[in-house]
Amino acid sequence: MHPLFEISPFTGYVYPNETIISWTVLIVVYPYLTGLVAGAFTISSLYQVFGFQRLKPVAHFALLVSLCCMVVVPLPLLLHLGHPERAFNAMITPHLTSAFAIFSYAAAFYVILLVLETWFVFRPHIVHMAQSKTGLLGWYYRILTLGSYDLSEKAVRYDRKWIYVLAIIGIPGAHGLHGYVGFVFGSLKSREWWSSDLMPAIFLFSAIISGTALLIVLYVASCKLRRVPVDVPCLKGMAYALWGFMMFTLLLEGVEFASLVYRAREGIDVILEFVKGPLIVPFFILQFGVGSVLPLLVITFMIWRGTTGNALVAGVTACATLVLLSVLMMRWNVVIGGQEISKTGRGLLAYHPTILGREGLLAAGVVLAIPVILLMVMVRLFPPWVEDTTSATATAGAQ
């Protein structure tokens, strides 16, 4: 008999008697995208609300990253559903005791909030383009002005107040959006690997570090593509944020795993067998070792040595890339790993992802690539860089 299976001496049944892993790689992508939304919005809010001036060069860019990721968040769920056209039934005929049904309202609210804040942030640029462009592009910007061309000091001050208010509302909105995902997993008592009160907090902090890491990678890449120098104080500010939140995340994940082992509830033997066997590479080596401990040590060393210049840029970017891998592996280990442990607590299942198909690795890769493609378009339409926005405002004000 295969070591992952066993025969009960009392019933004669072969365990595990589950044959299907229902939540596949697309459900891994779903919480990963929502985490990027929350993390990117956090960096934007650190400037818009709390006034962290060193983050000013990426504040508007972070807002666009959050919006582009949020628009794509429902896509993996729709691809996973057998009848995606029925998805709106959750909003038309709501079931208020279902966490999944409530999410549709929360996601719709947050998309509207992001769109409104983005409109207020880029309104000076929209007005400038509406006055200077002709043809189809000019019509596009003129529609976006909503008939408001006023860029007086009073109007701009009014816009800033709305940006501040929306950012304040968006902070609990973004964090609650991803904390909800952790709540969904943590509240499922049938899965010992998921059933933890710390799950919402772990998802939330891992979301912040993943969004911050993505912002670092995209900001450095955009500077290289635009052939402009990287703003080192800004990059260092994001590195400090990544470093601080990583320590909390690593601590929470360690405490959660220690609590799971210490409780030693029924089925813990199978979980320990799983962790020491099939999960040792994705959990201990990739998620904790390469993706968490190594970047944390490298960033700590660079902060201690006062590293700056190209060495800082290369080191922080490499660490951010590893953090993105770590959070992706965390999502994989939670979603897939939790289902590989049998509900009966006897035996393990094995998940073999397909390459093609609606729920294959290729489809998941395409879903992850769509926000980047959308971001490339949005950056063209709404330049998020401080110097571009400043010049556009000045030109529009002169006209």
Estimate the crossing angle of helix 56-72 against helix 25-48, to 10 degrees.
Answer: 150
With a CB cutoff of 8 Å and minimum separation 6, the contacts of 51 are: none
Choose the most confident range, by mean pLDDT, from 10-24, 81-95, 349-363, 377-391: 349-363
Q: Sign of the CA dihedral 347, 352, 353, 354?
A: negative
Between 267 and 38, the higher pLDDT residue: 38
The model's pTM? 0.87
Taking only the tens place, the pLDDT of each residue in 227-256 is 999 999 999 999 999 999 999 888 888 888
* Closest to 367 (Cα-Cα) out of 22, 87, 67, 27: 27
Q: What are phi and psi of 147, to 5 degrees?
A: 80, 5
* Closest to 367 (Cα-Cα) out of 29, 25, 28: 29
At 347, the pLDDT band (50, 70, 90 cuts) reads low
pLDDT over 80 (residue 218)? yes
172: helix, coil or strand?
A: helix
Q: Where are the domains of the chain?
A: 23-398
pLDDT over 70 (residue 6)? no
Name which of 11-20, 168-177, 237-246 the model is least confident about: 11-20
Burial code (b: 16+ CB inside 10 Å, e: under 16) for 381-393 equals ebbbbbeebeebb
Q: Sign of the CA dihedral 67, 148, 130, 388?
A: negative
pLDDT over 90 (residue 323)? yes
pLDDT over 50 (residue 394)? no
**CATH top class, domain 23-398:** mainly alpha
pLDDT of 147 = 86
Name which of 74-83, 171-180, 292-301, 386-395 the model is least confident about: 386-395
Tokens of 141: 């910007």
pLDDT of 184 = 80
The position carrying tokens 């001496």 is 9
